[in-house]
Amino acid sequence: MIQVFRLFRHEMKCLFYTPSTYIAMVLSLLLMGFFYFVTLLTISTEEQDQLPPTLFFSLFWVPVLLIVPMLTMRSFAEERRLGTIETMLTAPVRPGQLVMAKFLAAYAFYILVWALTIAYPILTAWVLKQPEFNLKLFHPGALTGGYVFIAVSGTLFVSIGIFTSSLTRSQLVAGMLSFSILFMLIVGVAAIHMLHFESGAGSLLPDTALDYFQIFEHFDDFSRGLIDTRPFAYYLTGTLAVLGFSVLIIESKS
């Protein structure tokens, strides 16, 4: 664990010294700020059944497709291109420790970006100064459920980014692979689920399996304050499996 912590500190320094990290942060915060503004505008023009935090977090997949590839694409791809990964692995560092350190660093920065979005309701409450509306902005169930979902699902998303970066020497290819896999996982599965029920056609997967893999269903549960162990098991096992494949790839190519 000491070795992992040392590698984690090194990776965090690399992230904070990399311009692409700040570009990803600024673009993501601007994008999420725009989404929050649109959410407030929608609520002000017409009555909504959903709370402001729920409407805001329902667009989580757009920032994810931007943040994760930009945070993770250089993790192993840049190391391979520069030839430094061989040097690191000749030291008393195991591939599993290196993968875990890079994952934890990218995940910590991912959480940091999302944590900064708490400034949006704070600024809105400070500007509007409407107690009744502020209760909706800071609804404990919707706000807590949204951030818990972001934290839990983010483990799988970031691990996919680490995995794609371990496959290639090119940051661009790693970013494109990460984007494609995340898009299919989040949007593709939801599209299959929707087409399955609209057409009424049979499927190789039963309805319960489609619900289990559909990330938007998990978000709906969390946003309503329904904490189920199945999403936790899904994201945890998926994260461990993807990181395990990353370790195998690093071992085979080192």
- pLDDT tens-digit map of 167-177: 988 899 999 99
Q: Which residues contact 117 (CB under 8 A, 6 or more apart)?
A: 29, 32, 36, 56
| Average pLDDT taken over every residue of the chain | 85
* Residue 156 burial (CB count, 10 A): 21
The reported pTM is 0.90
Note the pLDDT of residue 40. 86
Mean pLDDT of 181-209: 70
CB-neighbour burial class of residue 248 (10 A; exposed 0-12, middle 13-18, buried 19+)? middle
| Least confidently predicted of 193-202, 217-226, 237-246 | 193-202
Say which residue the tokens 């269903």 belong to. Answer: 217
Note the pLDDT of residue 206. 57
Measure the CA–CA gap between 156 and 150, rounded to whole angstroms. Answer: 10
Which is nearest to 63 in space by CA: 112, 27, 16, 111?
A: 27
Note the pLDDT of residue 199. 47
Question: Residue 204: which pLDDT band, with cuts at 50, 70 and 90?
Answer: low
**Local structure of 28: helix, strand or coil:** helix
As given in the structure block, the two tokens for residue 101 are: 């350190």
| Least confidently predicted of 1-15, 30-44, 100-114, 193-207 | 193-207
As given in the structure block, the two tokens for residue 16 are: 């904070």
Mean pLDDT of 131-135: 81
